[in-house]
């Protein structure tokens, strides 16, 4: 059996491409089933986040499954292979194992050491198990990945001073507007990112926070946790008249803020600047908004400049993290060799070294 991962991430593809290949959460279990059946994989798992789309697969040795996986992605998303193929990477065997361990530990994230990715990996694993697309090997692999991520977080300082996408978004808002305590902020979306945004905004003494979601009850529930104000989804565009910053993380399958929405709004705002930070993939906000006078749109790729300023401390920890990942990969590959004896799964010698993707 061969273990492979194929995917794109924030290093290889801009958000304009990543969003086209992303899988909506509501579709992920069925997508896992279709992938496994249509490509004839032994086991499979789709990991789809704002910064990556990856497919992990166990397949028969000696057959070309990569072409089948690419064809599945093209059919599922209605894309031409030429639109994304050159952006993809492939890892096999031990390299695939070490790649996943790095991903789960936040070492391959835009924000190195961030904690959100571990939860996303866990959710992807739970969804795949629920849909019966994983089996003995991928179950063992992902459980080992999550355990390794926990060990890295407790045995190193990789998380010290680490920031999440949510905190970076708030820092970006501070860079744009300076003090935030006298600003009005609208959060679109009540998922994990929305919850963290609310927390960070309160830590920055933002007193006027609005929360909206397609389900008003969810917006009210989140708002109640931090003395914010819930807004009915159908009314949030009207509330933008008095808002300084919009932070969107709804992850809708289509745009929820369009260029014409903002263009018609600006006269009512007396052309006061409106700053919009779109954290969603696919994007919640039409890129054309940036062409509207006094409207300033930032997407998740724009956060990288802020992230780069926070790298030095965590980079010093990568050596220790690499050793933990190497040891964990040794253990998994040893188990894999016993389960599926084959030369390609032999344990590498010390002379070959530990090759980690950092």
Tens digit of pLDDT for each residue in 216-233?
A: 999 999 999 888 999 999
Q: What is the pLDDT of residues 150-199, one digit of tens each?
A: 999 888 877 765 567 888 888 888 888 888 999 999 999 988 888 889 98
Any idea what the Cα angle at residue 279 is, between residues 138 and 263, rounded to 5°? Answer: 145
Q: Are strands 274-278 and 208-213 parallel, antiparallel or unpaired?
A: unpaired
| pLDDT score for 341 | 64
* Number of other CB atoms surrounding residue 242 within 10 Å: 13
User: Which phi and psi (to 5°) does residue 207 adopt?
Assistant: -95, -30
User: Is residue 249 pLDDT above 60, yes or no?
Assistant: yes
Are 257 and 276 contacting, i.e. CB atoms less than 8 angstroms apart?
A: yes
Mean pLDDT on 13-29: 94
| pLDDT score for 61 | 80
User: Is residue 343 pLDDT above 50, yes or no?
Assistant: no
User: Is residue 311 pLDDT above 70, yes or no?
Assistant: no
| pLDDT score for 172 | 85
Euclidean distance between CA atoms 230 and 316, whole angstroms: 42
Mean pLDDT on 280-303: 92
**Weakest-pLDDT range from 152-161, 262-271, 274-283:** 152-161
Q: Predicted confidence band at 273 (pLDDT cuts at 50, 70, 90)?
A: very high
| pLDDT score for 283 | 93
**Element (H or E) spanning 304, and its range?**
helix 304-308
Euclidean distance between CA atoms 299 and 292, whole angstroms: 16
| pLDDT score for 164 | 76
Indicate the average pLDDT of the chain.
Answer: 88
User: Is residue 352 pLDDT above 50, yes or no?
Assistant: no
β strands within the chain, DSSP E: 2-9, 43-48, 52-59, 89-92, 184-188, 208-213, 229-232, 245-248, 274-278, 295-299
CA dihedral 285, 83, 307, 282 (to 10 degrees): 30
Catalytic residue among 4, 50, 110, 333: 50
Q: What is the pLDDT of residues 84-117, one digit of tens each?
A: 999 999 999 999 999 999 999 999 988 888 888 9
| CA-based R_g, the chain, Å | 22
In eight-state DSSP terms, residue 246 is: E
- Structural domains of the chain ordered from first start: 2-160+313-352 (3.30.460.30), 165-308 (3.40.50.720)
Residue 321 among the catalytic residues: no
Q: What is the pLDDT of residues 322-341, one digit of tens each?
A: 999 999 999 999 998 888 76
Mean pLDDT on 223-247: 93
| pLDDT score for 78 | 96
Residue 151: C-alpha distances to residues 208, 270, 320, 325 (Å): 39, 53, 11, 10
**Weakest-pLDDT range from 10-14, 203-207, 261-265:** 203-207
Mean pLDDT on 202-217: 92
């Amino acid at each position: 059996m061969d273990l492979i991962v194929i995917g794109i991430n924030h290093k290889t593809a801009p958000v304009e491409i990543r969003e086209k290949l992303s899988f909506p959460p509501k579709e992920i279990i069925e997508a896992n089933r279709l992938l496994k059946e249509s490509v004839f994989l032994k086991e499979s798992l789709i990991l789809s986040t704002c910064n990556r789309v990856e497919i992990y697969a166990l397949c028969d040795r000696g057959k070309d499954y990569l072409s089948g996986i690419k064809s599945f992605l093209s059919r599922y998303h209605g894309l031409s292979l030429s639109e994304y193929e050159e952006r993809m990477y492939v890892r096999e065997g031990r390299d695939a194992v070490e790649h996943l361990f790095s991903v789960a530990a936040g070492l391959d994230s835009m924000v190195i050491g961030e904690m959100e990715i571990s939860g996303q990996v866990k959710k992807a694993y739970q969804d795949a198990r629920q849909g019966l697309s994983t089996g003995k090997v991928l179950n063992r692999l992902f459980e080992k990945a999550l355990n390794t991520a926990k060990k890295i977080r407790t045995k190193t300082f990789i998380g010290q001073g680490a920031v999440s996408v949510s905190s970076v978004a708030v820092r970006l808002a501070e860079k744009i507007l300076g003090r935030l305590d006298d600003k009005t902020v609208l959060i679109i979306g009540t998922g994990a990112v929305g919850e963290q945004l609310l927390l960070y905004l309160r830590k920055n003494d933002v007193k006027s926070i609005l929360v909206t979601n397609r389900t008003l009850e969810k917006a009210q529930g989140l708002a109640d946790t931090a003395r914010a104000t819930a807004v009915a989804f159908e009314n949030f565009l009207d509330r933008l008249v008095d808002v300084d910053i919009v932070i969107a993380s709804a992850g809708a399958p289509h745009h929820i803020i369009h260029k014409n929405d903002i263009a018609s709004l600006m006269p009512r705002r007396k052309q006061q600047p409106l700053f919009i930070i779109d954290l969603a993939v696919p994007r919640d906000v039409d890129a054309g908004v940036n062409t509207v006078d006094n409207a300033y749109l930032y997407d998740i790729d724009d956060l990288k400049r802020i992230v780069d300023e926070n790298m030095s401390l965590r980079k010093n920890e990568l050596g220790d993290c690499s050793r933990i990942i190497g040891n964990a990969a040794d253990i998994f590959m040893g188990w894999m060799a016993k389960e599926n004896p084959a030369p390609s799964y032999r344990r590498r010698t010390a002379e070959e070294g530990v090759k980690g993707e950092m």
